[in-house]
Structure 1
Amino acid sequence: MRTGLRITAYAAAVAAAFTAAYGVGTSVDSVSTPAAHSERNEHGERNEHGGKGHEDTGSGTGTTSTPAGLASTSHGYTLDLRTPRAKAGTRTDLRFTITEESSGAPLKTYAKEHGKELHLILASRDLTTYRHLHPVRAADGTWSVPATLPEAGDHRVFADFRPARAEEKVTLGADLAVTGAYAPDDLPPARATAKAGDGYEVRLTGTPAPGEPRELTLRVLRDGKPVTDLQPYLGAYGHLVALRAGDLAYLHVHPNGEPGDGSTKPGPAVSFTTTAPSAGAYRLFLDFRHEGKVRTAAFTVRTPHAH
């Protein structure tokens, strides 16, 4: 079955999606992520990528225009980050709970989305560092995951989850300070090609239209040749996270089509139908899996004001 993009509950008023790249150039961009990681998480446990659901995560209810991830409390839940500080270049065990406001107790029951109970996105405020992590939950409801962040500065952590028996997903955000010598980087320029290490590159094409759905296509190549055997990662051939420059409003989208639907090919192209929530600059992070490793390609895109 072909599935169109089902977006993070980003709010009905903003059409809840992200747009294609506007005015991109032709040079190469990169992002500070691990160049590739195997299908075992940082605890040495194997990541299971089950499920075909392609609903996206978010904290919108359809009754507010507030983008997801800007608040640490929403929908009756609070992200309590127990390790609000880390040291640049040093492995840190990030610990946190999702607390139920009604009882003050940690949430212990979750519905799995894309094979996981919770997805943790971590990004620097200048959008040059990005991590997509899968923490482990202890019996008392405390989540933990190791991470090593390369540069000092302000970071943002996003917890992306759906409580058991809840119909809506929730995205909560909290600030993480990384200590050390700090000089913020400028937002990388808008470019149409991004490297992902080991000869991989991703080419971005698409025409933006704020307030109007348009198709965005990301084409994966290795050593200049199209990759036609992408492997499913969390139930899809590609996952796209977009963060708005300035406030890091969060948007998680999934591709048009899914593995096994009879029409979606395993590369080289992965397409998304997208609409901009607002004009401005965004940073896109595409995760894809090939030969057992997950890689990330990053792009800066700019959307124009609606005419």
Structure 2
Amino acid sequence: MAGTAHPAGASQGLARGLAAERDGYRLNLVTCSPPAGRPTAFRFTVTGPGGSPVTDFAVHQTKKLHFYAIRSDLTGFQHLHPDMADDGTWTADLAALAPGTWRLYADFIPNTGARATELVLSRTVTVPGEAVPVPLPAPSDSTTVDGYTVTLQARPMAGAHQLVATIGQDGRPVTDLQPYLDSYAHLSAFHESDQALAHLHPANPVNGDHGGPTLTFQALFAEPGDWRVHLQFQTAGKLHTAEFTLHVD
């Protein structure tokens, strides 16, 4: 029998977190219609190859599961670490969602021994009400958040590429970054056209509360175009999220 043809980019789509099911694991939503304008205890399960909810997850980046939410216009970014009940039901405490279509991602490693691999699955939900799209900000190599200035030094291209971020405050380099998820920063990026996800961590070794000012990432952007980037870092116990639009050639 001839092999089944796969459309161009199908395997890449799986790898970019755009599929609800991969390698026998499936993201199932218990909460299917979150309300607009108020916080939501969003519930979901991950089922395994046998069809039952998975309850054994490996710890990666200090958590058993990372949960992301973003609207179709790449606004409203949330990065959460939900709790799991004994039956495998996860609960993510989402902040209020604006009306529109949202993509929700679960990033995890099933605890299946030496062959365990990281999976990112996602599904979309519709929040009721009139959606008012927000235009994507123009690409920029610098932004400010909470008094910090974050500057990117890169000419990123699709595929593997080095991305360097520098953090300063009042014209001085910041050298007191604290570990966050086992590193000095966490970077999540979403592609404008299809919401493909890329998430990165700096290669800098962790040495207590002495991170910065420069963070070097081995970036892997699956495709060219505009990406909305969220760089999260922590100082004095407070988490900061710097946002950029980054153009990838």
Compute the TM-score of the two structures, normalised by the length of structure 2. 0.89
**Which structure 2 segments of 5+ residues have no match?**
1-7
Q: CA deviation at 1:226?
A: 2.1
Q: CA deviation at 1:265?
A: 5.9
Q: Which residue in 2 is equivalent to 1:258? A: 205
**Deviation per CA, 1:272-305, whole angstroms, max 9, x where unpaired?**
122442221111111111110111111111122x
Structure 1's consecutive aligned runs of 4 or more residues displaced over 6 angstroms after TM superposition are none
2:130 aligned with 1:185: no
Q: Which residue in 2 is equivalent to 1:94? A: 42
**Which structure 1 segments of 5+ residues have no match?**
1-12, 15-59
- Asked if structure 1 preserves the Cα contact closer than 8 Å seen for 2:187 and 2:229, the reply is yes
For residue 271 of structure 1, the aligned residue among 192, 207, 216 is: 216
Q: CA deviation at 1:157?
A: 0.6
Q: 1:163 to 1:226 in 2, by over 3 A?
A: same
Aligned length: 239
Query: How far apart, CA to CA, are the structure 2 residues paired with 1:298 and 1:151?
Result: 19
Specify which structure has the higher proportion of strand. Answer: 2
Q: Secondary structure at the match of 2:109?
A: strand
**Deviation per CA, 1:56-108, whole angstroms, max 9, x where unpaired?**
xxxx9xxx333321111111111011112222320110100001242x21100
For residue 136 of structure 1, the aligned residue among 83, 105, 126 is: 83
Q: 1:221 to 1:183 in 2, by over 3 A?
A: same
- Asked if structure 1 preserves the Cα contact closer than 8 Å seen for 2:36 and 2:99, the reply is yes
Q: CA deviation at 1:177?
A: 1.8
Question: Aligned Cα RMSD in Å?
Answer: 2.2
Amino acid at match of 1:251: A
Query: How far apart, CA to CA, are the structure 2 residues paired with 1:146 and 1:277?
Result: 30
Correspondence 1:88-167 to 2 at 5 A: 88-102=36-50, 104-165=51-112, 166-167=115-116
- Asked if structure 2 preserves the Cα contact closer than 8 Å seen for 1:157 and 1:174, the reply is yes
Q: CA deviation at 1:150?
A: 4.6
Q: Which residue in 1 is equivalent to 2:4? A: none
Sequence identity (%): 36
Query: How far apart, CA to CA, are the structure 2 residues paired with 1:149 and 1:201?
Result: 27
Larger RCO (alpha carbons 8 Å, 6+ apart): 1
- Asked if structure 1 preserves the Cα contact closer than 8 Å seen for 2:98 and 2:127, the reply is yes
Q: Secondary structure at the match of 2:134?
A: coil
Q: Which residue in 1 is equivalent to 2:231? A: 286
Q: Which residue in 2 is equivalent to 1:51? A: none
2:209 aligned with 1:209: no
2:68 aligned with 1:68: no
Query: How far apart, CA to CA, are the structure 2 residues paired with 1:177 and 1:258?
Result: 41
2:124 aligned with 1:175: yes
